[in-house]
Chains A and B, each alone.
Chain A
Amino acid sequence: MRHLLSYLITRLLMAIPMVFILLSLVFVVLRVMPGDPVSSMLGGHAPEEVIERKKAELGLNKPIAIQYVEYLGKLLRLDLGDSMIFTERVSAPILDKLPATLELTVCGLLVSLGLGVPLGAFAARRRRSGRDYGIRLYANAVYCIPVYWMGLMLQLVFGVWLGWVPISGRTGPRMSSSAFSRTGFYLIDTLLTGDIQAFGDVFLHLLLPAFTLGVTLSGIFVRLTRANMLDVLKSDYILAARARGLPERRVVYDHGLRNALIPVVTMLGLQFSLLLAGAILTETTFSWPGMGRLLLERIYLRDYPTIQGIIVVYALFVSLVSLLVDLLYAAIDPRVRL
C-alpha cells in the first residue's frame, strides 16, 4: 500500500509539468499574436484612449512576463481569474459546460469499447480469414471517417429523412430546466427526479452524438484489441488451456481476452485525448452545449482568461485520466511500481 502511495505521489508530480508547458505555450502565443479582447469588445472604431484605459483595467498593458507570473500565482490558488468579455468568473461557464462534454465523452467511450473490443477479439481469433480482413477494413474505414461527417450523415438519415431522433441540443424545447439542476449530467438528473419522460427525451438527444463519437473511435479499439489478442494467443498459458481441452470459445474469450485487455486499458489515456478532440467536433455538429463549443465561442471573442482556463481544464483532465489509468495498471500489475 505504501508503494502505491509513493507511486501515486510521483505520478501526480509528473502531471504538473505537462499542464504547465501547455499553459505557457498558449499564454505566450495568445499574447504575441495580433488581435486582442479590447478591440473585439469595443469594435474597431473606439477612440485610442478608451482602448488604452480598458487595457490598463484588464492588465493587458503590463509586460507579458509580469502578466504570466501573476496568472500563475492565481492558478496556484486554483483561481482561473475573471472573463475579459463578460462579467463572470472563468470557472462559471466551464463548470456549466463540463458535465455536457463528460456525458457525451463517457457515452461515446462506452459505445466505442462495446463495438471495438468484441470485433477486435473476434478478428484475432480468425486471423487472416475473410472476416478478419473485413473487420480490419471496418477499423481503417471508420478511423478515416471524419467524426462530423458521420454526425451529419446520421442526422440526415435518422433525423431528417426518418425523423426518429432530434438532431441538435441536449433536450427538447418543452423540457423544464428544474429537472437538470442537480449534477449537470442530464441522464442522472432526470433519473434522480424520477422524470421518465424527460429521461427519454435526454436519451434520444444523446443517442446520435454518442453513437457518432463512439463508432468513429471504435476502429482504434479494434486494432488495439486485435494486436494484443494475437500476442496473447501465442502465449504458453493459452496452449496450456487448449491442452486441458477447454472449449475454444472459453480459451479465447475467458483466458485470452482478459489478458489482452490489460494493454488496451493502458492505452485508454491516449484514446481519451482523441475522444476529447472528437467531442469538440461532435458538439459543433449537434449544437451540443459543451466545452468544445465554449472554447470556439470564446476564441472568436478573444477572451484570453477563459481560453486559458479551458486549456488548463482539458490538460488537467487528460493528466487525471492518464493518472487513473496508470493507477489501475499499477493495481493490476505489481511490476509497474518498482
Chain B
Amino acid sequence: MKRENDVRSSAAFSPASAAASLVRRFADAARKYRAEWWILLAGALIIVLIGTMTVFPGLFTRFDPMDQEAGGQMEAPSRTHPMGTDNLSRDVWARMVYGSQTILGVAIAAALLSALIGIPLGLLSGFAGGAFDKVLSLVMDSVYSFPGLILAIAFASMLGPGVVNITLSVSVVYIPTYFRLVRGQTLSIKEEVYVEAARALGARRAAILARYVLPNIVATIVVVFSMNVADAIMTEAALSYIGLGLPAGIPDWGMDLSMGKKFLPSGIWWMITFPGLMIMLLALGFTMLGEGLAEILNPRLLEK
C-alpha cells in the first residue's frame, strides 16, 4: 500500500522512472507472490509459443493449410498428420498453425482499436464532466450492459464477412470496457492534490491529462488489455463459428469448429477437439497473463 502511494506522489513522471518503478514492482512481486508469478509466466509462455507459430508457421508444419491433397479424407491422427485431416483432406495441424494468424491478429487489432477509442473518450468524459459526460456515459453503459456477442453478431452480419469487418465488430463491444475504467479512474485522480497543484501552476488540460492522469492508470490498462484480448479471442471465434466471420479462403479456428460440427455424429473427434483446444489455450494464455499482472501490479484489483 505504501509503495503505491510513493509512486503516485512522485507526480512528475518520466518514462525512465516509470519503467524503473515497474521493474522494481515486478522484482518485489516475484518474491512476494510466488504463485501469481507462475501464473503470469505460464500465460506468457502460451502466448509466446502461439505467437511464434503465427510469425514462423513454416517451422511448425510443412503442409499448406489450404492443400486439399495433404492426405486422405478425414484421416484419424497419425504420425504424418498429428491432428488428422479434415473433410477436404487438409492437414488439421497446418490449419491450426496458420489459423493462429487470423485469430491472434483480429483479437489484438480489435482490442487495440477499442482501447484507442475508449481510453481518450474516457479521459475526456471524466475530465470534462457536464452534459457531454452524462450523455456519453449513458450510451456507453447501455452498450456495456447489453450482451456483447449479440451486438457483435448484429454488426458482423451488417458489415458482411472479412478480416477488417470482423475486427470492427469485435472492437465495438469492448469500447465501453475501456471507457468506464478510464473515466472512473480519471474522476478520482482529478481530485488528487498534485493535479490541483498542477492546475494552480497553470498547466493546460492536455498536459495534466497526459502527464498526471494517464501514467497513473497505465498499470490498470495493461491488465485490462490482456483480459480484453482473451475476450476478443472468444468473440472472434464465436462469430466465425456461427458463420459470420471470414471468407472461406482464410484458415480460422472458429470456422474449422463449425465444419467439424457436421461430422460429429459420425464420431470424427479430431475435427472438433483441436480447434476448440487451441481457442481455449490462447484465451487462457491472455487471461493468465492478465491475472498474474493484476495481482502483481495491484493486488486489490481482482478482489474488488
Q: Give chain A's interface residues, CB within 8 Å of chain B.
A: 17-18, 21-22, 25-26, 29-30, 33-35, 128, 133, 140-141, 143-149, 152-153, 155-156, 160-161, 167, 223, 227, 230-231, 269-270, 273-274, 276-278, 280-281, 284-285, 295-296, 299-300, 307, 311, 314-315, 318-319, 322
Contact = CB atoms under 8 A, between A and B. Distances in A.
B279 A149 contact: yes
Given A140-B291, A155-B264, A146 B279 contact: yes
A149 B276 CA distance: 6
A295 B150 contact: yes
A152 B257 contact: yes
A145 B139 CA distance: 30
Contact of A152 (B141, B149, B267, B272): B272
Given A148-B238, A277-B147, A315-B146, A227 B279 contact: no
A318 B150 CA distance: 12
20 contacts: A17-B142, A21-B138, A21-B143, A140-B284, A140-B288, A141-B280, A144-B287, A149-B272, A152-B264, A160-B267, A167-B265, A276-B147, A280-B149, A280-B150, A280-B242, A285-B261, A295-B153, A296-B153, A300-B157, A318-B147
Nearest to B148: A277
A33 B35 contact: no
B158 interface: yes
B97 interface: no
A144 B284 contact: yes
A29 B145 contact: no
Nearest to B269: A156
A133 B145 contact: no
Contacts of B304: 227
B242 A281 contact: yes
A281 B142 contact: no
Contacts of B234: 144, 146
Contacts of A318: 145-147
Contacts of A307: 154
- In the A-B complex, the 9 residue pairs with the smallest Cβ-Cβ separation, listed nearest first, are A149-B276, A277-B149, A277-B147, A144-B283, A18-B142, A33-B158, A299-B157, A144-B284, A21-B142
B154 A227 contact: no
Nearest to B265: A160
Given A17-B142, A30-B158, A145-B280, 19 more contacts: A17-B138, A18-B146, A21-B138, A33-B158, A128-B35, A140-B288, A140-B291, A144-B230, A146-B238, A146-B241, A148-B238, A152-B264, A156-B269, A160-B264, A160-B267, A227-B302, A281-B149, A284-B242, A295-B153
Contact of A156 (B145, B147, B267): B267
B4 interface: no
B273 interface: yes
Contacts of B143: 21-22, 25
Contact of A277 (B150, B155, B265): B150
From DSSP, what is the main secondary structure of chain B's interface residues?
helix
A249 B6 CA distance: 41
B241 A281 contact: yes
Contacts of B139: 21
A269 B145 contact: yes
B51 to A, nearest CB: 17
B264 A156 contact: yes
Interface of B: 35, 138-139, 141-143, 145-150, 153-155, 157-160, 230, 234, 237-238, 241-242, 244, 257, 260-261, 264-265, 267, 269, 272-273, 275-276, 279-280, 283-284, 287-288, 291, 302-304
Contacts of B35: 128, 133
Contacts of A160: 264-265, 267
Main secondary structure of the interface of A (DSSP, over half): helix
A303 B273 CA distance: 35
Given A152-B264, A160-B265, A284-B242, A311 B150 contact: yes
B232 to A, nearest CB: 12
Contacts of A322: 145
A147 B234 CA distance: 9
Contacts of A285: 261
A216 to B, nearest CB: 10
Contacts of B267: 156, 160-161
Nearest to A275: B147
A152 to B, nearest CB: 5
A281 to B, nearest CB: 6
A300 B156 CA distance: 11
A284 B153 contact: no
A296 B149 CA distance: 12
Contacts of B265: 160, 167
A152 B303 contact: no
Nearest to A152: B272
Given A152-B272, A153-B272, A18 B154 contact: no
Contacts of B158: 29-30, 33, 35
B159 to A, nearest CB: 7
B257 A276 contact: no
Nearest to B230: A144
A223 B261 CA distance: 31
B13 to A, nearest CB: 30
Nearest to A34: B160
Contacts of A155: 264
Contacts of B142: 17-18, 21-22
A4 B267 CA distance: 57
